[in-house]
Amino acid sequence: MMQGFETSAPVGRILVGGSGLAAEMTVAALAAHLPPHVAILRVDAGDQRGSDLFYGSVTAPSAYAFNLSVGVDERRLILDSDTSFSWGTRYADWGGRGWMQGFALPFPVIDGVQLHQYLTLVAADGIAPYVAGVQAARRGVFVHPPREGDGQHPLARAEYGYQFDPADYAALFAAAVPAGRVERVAGSVVGVDVAEGVIAGVRLDDGGLVRADLYVDCSGPAALLLSALASDWQGDRRIGITVEDRASADEAPLRTVRVSPEGWQSETPLKGRVRHIRVSTAGAVEATTGRRSRGWVGNCVGIGQAVAMVEPLTPAPMMLLERDIERLLTLIPVRHDMGVEACEYDRRFADDHDHVDLFQRAFFTADGLPDGPYWQAAKARAVPEKLARKLGMFAERGVLVAYDLEPFHPEDWTILHMGMGLRPARHDRLADRADPARVRQFLMKMAGDIEAAVAKLPPARIYRAQLEQYLKRGMV
């Protein structure tokens, strides 16, 4: 055992190494949830401005609750950043098909039968008319969906996320940390001392050495701390990203993704500008997608891109980052012997990443995609058995195969399946108990109610401007 390292001693010092979005979010979360006697140290570890671009430009609806839990409420987001609201992503021409991958609460289950089974029964042309957020996105309108006490409102099942700039977003979390709660260590990480499989200290460019009980690596793909203990990486697909902002008054509440021979490109409206992203085999910033086999080694845990790099085709990168931080909070060790926490962290980390990968990889099973180097590399990866089961069971029987605690929910998969053109060959026979004519009438009313409600909504840009004025007057 390393001299002076007592496995039964309490954990009283946590060091976060990083300089980008993951570090700011992690520090804000630790500061919000840990008791005051646990010291939080922050030290820079490289420049993550480039790699942060791979977090993309859109979050899932989970961002609202995560942000609120660490002290970033929506008032600050609206008043202090260029972040805008999002109903989801429109895939304008993906393999010859276009659909809106909208966010939604669980779809209605009627007499024990899922909504999409009734759509199959009456040969309905897609699910889009029955997803309120999708219809609102098509019109470019937005309001906060009604919640308590108005469950019958056509927008009650709508969900929204955010469209963001990683650097702008990170500043919100930095500002949320109470003054004096975190010790900012001068200098930047240049080396790591290791003894008996754990980090003994972090060396800085000013010659200093900083010690802690738990080290949290938020240094991006370089993983300056974690790689000193384990250097393995699973994945070899190289992609590049190029980002450009253009001034625009458009604030449509949706991101648009289009296919190109070289890869894909997206436009994401923010406040006062549109963020253009191009992803291909080469770009201004490049990275290798994949993950580490372990996210927690010894007394060091990796967060975000220090343990996994995910293509920003969907909100997956931000979903995984939020989950990494939430997982860390539930497993903060109380002693230096962290073996139990590390095993549980790694189990959940592997499941989250593998299940997100199923959703992302499903996009590349579409027919009609280009044949350039980017597409060849993406399509060359074998389809996992879990994904094959998901695709096959939906195509054959409309069954939504689900695994424990998947980041993407059944409604996400339903919209994806149907958006990509999958139509079940047969429906749930329990749906035959319903009269097809009455089913059509119900669906027609559901779609009509949504259309009528959405037609009354204001353009997203106007709604945000009015909300800003409301907040600035101090009415909330």
Pairwise CA distance, residues 216 & 74, whole Å: 27
Q: Do 147 and 167 belong to one domain?
A: no
Q: For residue 188, what is the domain's CATH number?
A: 3.50.50.60
Task: Tell me what pLDDT residue 4 has.
Answer: 38
Residue 220 lies in a domain: yes
Residues 271 and 125 occupy one common structural domain: no
Q: How many residues does the chain have?
A: 476
* CB neighbour list of residue 30: distance below 8 Å, 6 or more residues apart: 14, 16, 38, 40, 216, 329
334 and 283 fall within a common domain: yes
Q: Which of 403, 412, 405, 368 is nearest to 384 (CA)?
A: 403
* Residue 424 covered by a domain: yes
- Mapped onto helix, strand or coil, the DSSP state of residue 59 is coil
Q: What is the pLDDT of residue 355?
A: 97
Instruction: Please tell me whether residues 136 and 277 are part of one structural domain.
Output: no
Q: What angle do CA 435, 437, 442 make, to 5 degrees?
A: 95
Among the three residues 381, 413, 431, which one is the final residue of a domain in this structure?
381
Confidence (pLDDT) at 1: 35
Measured CA to CA in angstroms, residue 164 lies from 262, 293, 308, 334, 369 at distances of 25, 30, 21, 36, 28
Range of the structural domain that residue 47 is part of: 13-103+159-381
Contact 91, 368 (CB under 8 A): no
Would you list the DSSP string of 192-235?
A: EEEETTEEEEEEETTS-EE--SEEEE-SGGG-TTGGGT----EE
**Could you tell me if 312 and 359 lie in one domain?**
yes
Residue 6: inside a domain, yes or no?
no
Judge whether 3 lies within some domain: no
pLDDT digits (tens, 9 = 90+) for 252-296: 999 999 999 999 999 999 999 999 999 999 999 999 999 999 999
Q: Are residues 40 and 51 in the same domain?
A: yes
Which of 358, 381, 404 finishes a domain? Answer: 381
Q: Are residues 369 and 440 located together in one domain of the fold?
A: no
How many C-beta atoms lie closer than 10 Å to residue 267's C-beta? 20
Dihedral Cα 426, 431, 432, 433, nearest 10 deg: 170
Last residue of a domain, which of 330, 357, 381? 381
- Sheet architecture: strand order including 308-309: 97-102, 88-94, 255-260, 263-270, 273-280, 234-247, 285-291, 308-309
Q: Are residues 113 and 96 located together in one domain of the fold?
A: no
What DSSP string describes 228-285? GT----EEEEEEEEEEEEEE-----SSEEEEEETTEEEEEEEETTEEEEEEEES--SE
> String of b and e for 51-86 (b: at least 16 CB within 10 Å)?
bbbbbbbbbbbbbbebbebbbbebebbbeebbbbbb
Dihedrals phi, psi of 371, to nearest 5 degrees: -115, 15
% residues pLDDT > 90 (the chain): 92
Cβ atoms of 188 and 44 closer than 8 Å: yes
Alpha carbons 75 and 444: distance in angstroms, whole number: 38
The one-digit pLDDT tens for each residue of the chain (476 residues) are: 343 345 556 789 999 999 999 999 999 999 999 999 999 999 999 999 999 999 999 999 999 999 999 999 999 999 999 999 999 999 999 999 999 999 999 999 999 999 999 999 999 989 999 999 999 999 999 999 997 655 688 999 999 999 999 999 999 999 999 999 999 999 999 999 999 999 999 999 999 999 999 999 999 999 999 999 998 999 999 999 999 999 999 999 999 999 999 999 999 999 999 999 999 999 999 999 999 999 999 999 999 999 999 999 999 999 999 999 999 999 999 888 999 999 999 999 999 999 999 999 999 999 999 999 999 999 999 899 999 999 999 999 999 999 999 999 999 999 999 999 999 999 999 999 999 999 999 999 999 999 999 999 999 999 999 999 999 987 54
Phi-psi region of 18 (alpha: psi -120 to 50; beta: other; left: phi over 0): left
Whether 4 maps to a domain, the answer reads: no
244 and 227 housed in the same domain: yes
Same domain, yes or no: 123 and 92: no
Q: What is the pLDDT of residue 152?
A: 80
Is residue 288 in a domain?
A: yes
366 is a domain residue: yes
| 17 phi/psi in degrees, rounded to 5 | -105, 115
Whether residue 409 is found in the same domain as residue 468: yes
Q: For residue 2, is it within any domain?
A: no
Q: How many domains does the chain have?
A: 2
Question: Looking only at Cα atoms, what is the longest distance across the chain?
Answer: 78
How many Å separate Cα 142 from the centre of its chain? 21
CA atoms within 13 A on the CB side of 445: 7
What token pair was written down for 169?
Answer: 């977003």
Beta-ladder partners of 269: 274
Q: Which tokens sit at 231?
A: 């250097």
The encoded tokens of residue 182 equal 């975190």
Question: Which H or E element spans position 110?
Answer: strand 109-110
Q: Are residues 108 and 203 in the same domain?
A: no
* pLDDT value of residue 7: 52
**What per-residue confidence (pLDDT) applies to 334?**
87
